[in-house]
């Protein structure tokens, strides 16, 4: 990680370090050029053993939870649908843990390239904005990162044990319950990890758009041909930066293809599983977990919603660039200087072809439209379970 020349990555580093403690992403120190090659090898070997220990723990807890689930299912005589859904959910936990670690192993170099691209883009944007008076301050990104990612990580770590501890099987040992809670927290933190990279992209887009706004401001009152030629060069550089950001979004989408797909699948299946058990235990007037089940459903839904919302912010910021280009095109300077006019047309044509889409390898798009579809599907299934149970 190029922390020495990237303030954005320096700001994101504490969050990545916390996520690496849960075995979700390689520690940032692995991507530091100043780290000696032999020492990096020792760190990687030690972290690999740590990941292997986490994976073995997940396998054991999955087995223990399946045994406890079968005992509880026999108690409530609901061995048909609940047994299949419960075992599927437990197996999916193991699948997610294995896929997350395989993704780190197979896409380790891709992640390193993503960090390098972010650092290079930030440096190029900083150089492009030196000729303008107005600048965006990087502390606003630190505030957004703390508010949108840091706070959400704290809420996930705080509320998952409060909402799920009572819902675990009563026959499950307390040590198994603690380990299960840690595993559930780890799975849900994959969403904030994705949000870290989305916010990095969002900040890059805002800075590129800010340079474009500065170009528009200068062109409104500029009559100097030499300065307009300089602004044409800046405009062309801005166009290239937008293209690199678009490619970077594709790399991030490929890196999170499997993990985010499984997260959406797991949260949707868990919500259905929670509703199913709520209907089974609704006959018990002393059931104290009804409100916790509602809280779990809200938390899992919100985790998906937050990722879709941040992607929507990025897409809207990206789609606002053509509007600024149109405003520059309507200025008198665009009519007087054919080179500027041709540059604006080329830029606009690129924006028409390079649509920014956060996608999981083409399987589905991560946006509010997809989130609405997921909610409609879950609501339909929940309605079906509630009507079929009576």
Q: How is 317-337 classified by DSSP, letter by letter?
A: HHHTHHHHHHHHHTSHHHHH-
Determine, yes or no, domain membership for 271.
Answer: yes
Determine, yes or no, domain membership for 247.
Answer: yes
**Cβ atoms of 294 and 163 closer than 8 Å:** no
**Cβ atoms of 108 and 27 closer than 8 Å:** no
Determine, yes or no, domain membership for 53.
Answer: no
Q: Is 359 helix (H, G, I), strand (E, B) or coil?
A: strand
Q: Please state the pTM of the whole predicted model.
A: 0.88
In this prediction, residue 227 has a pLDDT band, given cuts at 50, 70 and 90, of: confident
- Residue 337: phi and psi, rounded to 5, are -125, 105
Q: What is the mean pLDDT of the chain?
A: 83
pLDDT at 163 > cutoff 70 = yes
Determine, yes or no, domain membership for 81.
Answer: no
Determine, yes or no, domain membership for 243.
Answer: yes
Q: What's the total number of domains in the chain?
A: 1
pLDDT at 100 > cutoff 70 = yes
Determine, yes or no, domain membership for 170.
Answer: yes
Domain housing 311:
108-388
The residues pairing with 359 across neighbouring beta strands, listed in sequence order, are 365
pLDDT at 97 > cutoff 60 = yes
284-309 mean pLDDT: 77
Determine, yes or no, domain membership for 24.
Answer: no
Determine, yes or no, domain membership for 76.
Answer: no
Q: Is 365 helix (H, G, I), strand (E, B) or coil?
A: strand
Q: Which stretches of the chain are DSSP H helices?
A: 7-21, 37-76, 81-106, 108-128, 139-145, 151-164, 174-188, 190-220, 225-255, 257-280, 290-319, 321-329, 332-336, 338-353, 368-388
């Amino acid at each position: 990680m190029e922390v020495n020349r990237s303030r954005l990555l320096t700001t994101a580093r504490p969050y990545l370090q916390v996520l690496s403690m849960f075995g979700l992403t390689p520690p940032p120190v692995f991507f530091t050029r100043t780290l000696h090659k032999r020492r990096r090898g020792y760190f990687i070997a030690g972290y690999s053993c740590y990941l292997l220990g986490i994976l073995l723990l997940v396998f054991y807890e999955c087995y223990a939870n399946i045994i406890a689930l079968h005992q509880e299912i026999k108690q409530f005589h609901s061995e048909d649908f609940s047994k299949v859904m419960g075992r599927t959910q437990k197996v999916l936990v193991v699948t997610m843990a294995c896929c997350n670690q395989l993704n780190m192993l197979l896409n380790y170099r891709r992640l390193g390239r993503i960090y390098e691209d972010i650092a290079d883009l930030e440096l190029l944007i900083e150089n492009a904005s030196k000729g303008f008076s107005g600048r965006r301050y990087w502390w606003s990104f630190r505030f957004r990162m703390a508010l949108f990612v840091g706070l959400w990580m704290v809420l996930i770590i705080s509320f998952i044990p409060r909402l799920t501890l009572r819902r675990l099987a009563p026959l499950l040992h307390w040590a198994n319950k603690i380990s299960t809670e840690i595993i559930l927290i780890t799975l849900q933190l994959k969403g904030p990890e994705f949000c870290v990279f989305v916010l990095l992209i969002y900040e890059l887009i805002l800075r590129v758009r800010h340079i474009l706004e500065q170009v528009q401001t200068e062109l409104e009152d500029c009559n100097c041909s030499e300065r307009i030629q300089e602004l044409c060069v800046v405009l062309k550089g801005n166009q290239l930066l937008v293209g690199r950001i678009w490619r970077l979004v594709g790399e991030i989408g490929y890196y999170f293809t499997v993990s985010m797909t499984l997260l959406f699948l797991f949260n949707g299946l868990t919500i259905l599983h929670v509703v199913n058990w709520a209907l089974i235990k609704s006959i018990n007037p002393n059931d104290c977990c009804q409100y916790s089940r509602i809280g779990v459903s809200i938390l899992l839904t919100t985790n998906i919603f937050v990722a879709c919302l941040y992607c929507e912010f990025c897409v809207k910021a990206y789609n606002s660039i053509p509007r600024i280009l149109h405003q520059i095109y309507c200025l008198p300077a665009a009519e007087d200087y054919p080179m500027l006019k041709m540059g604006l047309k080329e830029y606009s044509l690129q924006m028409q072809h390079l649509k920014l889409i956060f996608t999981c390898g083409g399987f589905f798009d991560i946006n509010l439209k997809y989130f609405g579809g997921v909610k409609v599907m879950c609501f339909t299934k929940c309605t079906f379970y509630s009507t079929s149970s009576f």
